[in-house]
Each structure stands twice: as C-alpha cells, then as structure tokens.
Chain A
Amino acid sequence: MKSSELPPLASVPFRGLGAFLWTEVLVQAHENLAMATSMIVQGVLLVFVVILAPGLIGIALVGAILFSMFAMGQRVLNEAAYIRIDHKANDLYLAGPLSPEAYFLGISLGILVVYLTPVVLLGVITAVVVPLSVEVAALLVGLAAVVWLFAASIGYVFSTFFRDNRAIWAYASLFFNVFGVLPPVFYPFARFPPALQPIALMMPPSAAAAIVQHALGATALTGAELALALGSLAVETVGAFLFAIFWARRSVRGD
C-alpha cells in the first residue's frame, strides 16, 4: 500500500482500547501463579480473623474484597513500569495511533479482567457468610469499582516516575499495604482511634469499607462522617482518574 493512499487518521480518544485491553488480558492470563497468589495477604488476614475474632469475619470478608480491588492498583503500577522500563512497550505502542488513555486503561482493565476471578470467588463466600441485601451487595460492587478506579489511576501515574523496577517493588508494596491494611478496611471502623477516623474516611479503601459497614449496621457513621466518606471517594476518584488521563497524554513524550 502506498503511504499516500492511507486514509487520514484523526487522534481519537480511547482509540485502540479494546484491542490493547485484549493484549493485556492475554499477557496476564499466561501468569497463572501470579493470579493464584494475588489473595495471599487477604487470605492470611482472614485466617487471623477467624482465629482471633470469628465474629468479625463478615466485616473482614467485605474488607478483603475492597482491599483486593485496591491492590490491583499495585499491579497496574508494577505492570506499567515493567513494560515501560524492561520492554519499551510504551515506545512501541504510543508512537502510533493507539491513544495514550487507551494504553493506560488497557493495562488497568486487562489486569482487572484477569484478577477479578479470585475476587468474585471471595464475593461468593461473602454472600454465603454475610446476609447481604441486594442493595448492600450493589453498594459493595459499586464501591469496589470506585476503589479500583482510584487505585489503578494512581498506580499508573506513579509508574511513570520510576526508572528502576527494584525501587518500585519496595515502594509499591509499602504504599498499598499501608493504605489498604493499616486503616479500618479489615476491621470495624469504630475501633480505629477516633482522632484518626476523619483521615480514614478520606482514604478510599477505608472510606468504602466504612460505608459498607454502615450499610450492614456494623458501624454507625454520623451524617457528617458519611458525607465526608462519600465526598472524599467521589472527589479523589474523579480527580485521580482525570489526572491519570491527563498524565497518560502528557507523559508519552519525555523531557
């Protein structure tokens, strides 16, 4: 085909998303071991809860679902940095018609599609152990999606700052475990030090957990606390997502 015969192509937002998502699904699906080990932290914490405080298993299961979605952000960070630093895949894909936002979302959604299976299994166990109404189940699914979007967005943005994979492993693990395990995600919000509770309500994983615990009747949030949790989740998630889109476009070209 002669170059002059090619049709003019405009830059289209999200162009190539479906195909690149499928690429990432294929890549991730070949790593069965990683999928199987994606539940280790949650599994260990659930075992601790069963032994130490079996009455809290329902809350812990809900927390495990939310944490699993948050931890996918760590996978986005690791994967985006790895294929950029080790494979130069960003150069290969972004010096072409694939849109930068499709590249970011393709990685994120590809990981979500593959790693959702163990989360769904966790959801089935939760539904058996905890009597969830349809409304609360829908709330949990919605909040899990919001937590994932937030985590994937910040994971992608952070991935662009590193030049060495070794540094990423340490920081990513620290960041996602501190923000996903330490605050009241796996345990009742009321047991978190009162002075620090507003901070927990401003952090997406613990804000989502507190809202679900409130809906389950396991935690009583005041109207102001509920507003803070919902408002923080909305503002931070929308802000993180829009910034990630902006940053995906901006970071195609280095300085």
Chain B
Amino acid sequence: MNMKNTLLNTRKTALVTGLAIATASLALSAQAMTVISFGGSSGDAMQKAYYAPFVEKTGKTLTPGDYNGEFARIRAMVETGNVSWDVVEVESPELVRGCFEGLFQPIDWAKLGIEDQLIPEAVTECGVGSFVWSTVLAYDADRLEGTPLSWADFWDLETFPGKRGLRRGAKYTLEFALMADGVSSSDVYDVLATEEGVARAFAKLDEIKEHIQWWEAGAQPPQWLVAGDVVMSSSYNGRIAAAQEEGRNLAITWNESLYDLDYWTIIEGSTQVEDAYEFIRFASQADTQAVYSSNIPYGPVNPAAIGALSEAQAKRMPTHADNLIGAIAVNTDFWVDFGEELEQRFNSWATR
C-alpha cells in the first residue's frame, strides 16, 4: 500500500508531526501498545478513526508509528527477540510470507469474536483485514463515447479506438486478459494455474499489444486519462477517487475489478496481545471503519460501515454491494508462489 499512499498524498500534516511528538513522550511509559501503519494520508485517517477514539474510549495508551513496509525490519525484530512493535499493518504478500515464516501470531478468531461481521477475505490465519482497495477499469467519461462494461470491452479496439493503460507487470494484467477472453471472474486463478491458461492470457494480450501504454506508478493512469493519452486504463480506485474530488469526470467500471486488502497483524513475541486484540476489534467496528473510509476512499472490511457513509462516498467503496458484483479478490498465495516465473515470462513476452 505504501506506494499508493505516499503518491496519493505525500504531504505530512501537522497532525503527524504532533503524533511524532506524542510518540516520543509515550515511548517513555513502559506498557504502551505500538501500532504501526504505512503513514501518509491513510495514517492520518487512521489517527482520526482508530487511534484517538481508542485512547479516548479505553483510557489505554497507544503509540502510533509508521514504516515503509520494510519486511526485513519485522523479521529482524522477531529473530532477535527484541520486539518493540505490537500491531502492524501489512500488505497481502507480506501477510502470506510472514505468516508462513512465523513472524505473525495466529489470530484467535473465537477470542476476537468479529468473524461474522467482516467480508470473508478479511478473515485469515495471521491477519485481520483493515481496508480494501481495488484495481479497476477507469476511463474519462468526458472523452470516451459509450461505456465499457467489462475487460472484453477494454479489448474491443473497434468500439473504443485509442491507447489503453495497463500496469507494467504480470500481476493484474494476466487476470484481466483472461477475463477479456471470456473466463468468468471466479475461475480466473484456476485457469491461470495451468500452462494453457497462461498461454491463453498472453495470446489475448497479443491482440492489443501495440495499443498498450504501460504504467509504472499509481499516479500515472488518472494523469494519462485526463491528458487524453489513453482512453481507458487499469488503475487503483483510490487514485481515481482523488482525481474525482479534484473535479475530473473519471469513471470506474467495477465489474471484473480485482480487490486486495491490507491487514492488521500481531507480531510474534508481542507482550501487548490483549490490548492488540482490543484495538483490532475496535478498528473493525462499523462506526470506526466508516470514519476511516470517509477520510480516504479505501473500502471498509465491515460492510455495515457502508450504510454510515454518504451516498457519494459509499458508491466509491470497493466493498459497496453493487461494486462487488463480478469483482474478485487477488489471490495472493498464487502470486507469492508463481509471481517470479510469470513476471519473467511477462518481460520475455514484452520484448518479443
């Protein structure tokens, strides 16, 4: 999440500066739970929605902090037994790797007692979902004639002539290609796990290869759409929402979008497990999640929070019931295992 966050809003507000001072003073008191997030605008929203209300409600101390997703730091902490972090926000590939390596404590879902309130993907062995973001088909509604409804339309060069933007890499690209080729969204990863499926995805990409402009940073798709460089692009939904707030008439096709989650984890060896559970439970409530999502366009993992948002905000959430139709979760296990092989194949394909 860190790239998406920092590029979305690199500005560190006075709030964060205040937090840093609070951190310094709180670090002196021995039994404070430390909560680490990716900071940036998401961290600001977390402060408003989770940290401050949690301290106010429970009277417990909480030391917030941020990091850039340096996995090695967590590993070093656990291996040396010098664990100073308790609750840490991680992206899904790190969740999968860290859980396998035993860096995160397994979540006792019975003890947490909120399993039935969350979307299924938020419930994992070592992590509790914190928010949902999505990779979607986006276009400039002022420029494009007609409405693309699926990835098949994205591939349709006759109805929608012009360049298309896709992320430079195999992840997301191969899934979209298969959906464009008629694979139903629920079968995508089963097909992609076979050699024929991979070949099929690349063959489908061949059809529009000349018309793709590949993006590297999350800020590029909305910029290209606004500038008219591309007529459609895959994009992170948060980027499009930010452009919409600036008055751009960018539109999102939620059908066949790929959503992914960030997770709360409890570091192995943490001494503040009770507080950690209480914090995670607190941060998963509908009301706190609604405050978070009203500050940043990432979807709540607790669907009940959608109801507390304004109509306009709710429609921008990846977890809005309408937006979940036809959408699938990114299969992180698949990408952790096959990612290298497929990225290499993508690079080989791209130069041919």
Chain A complexes with chain B: no
A contact residues vs B (CB 8 Å cutoff) = none
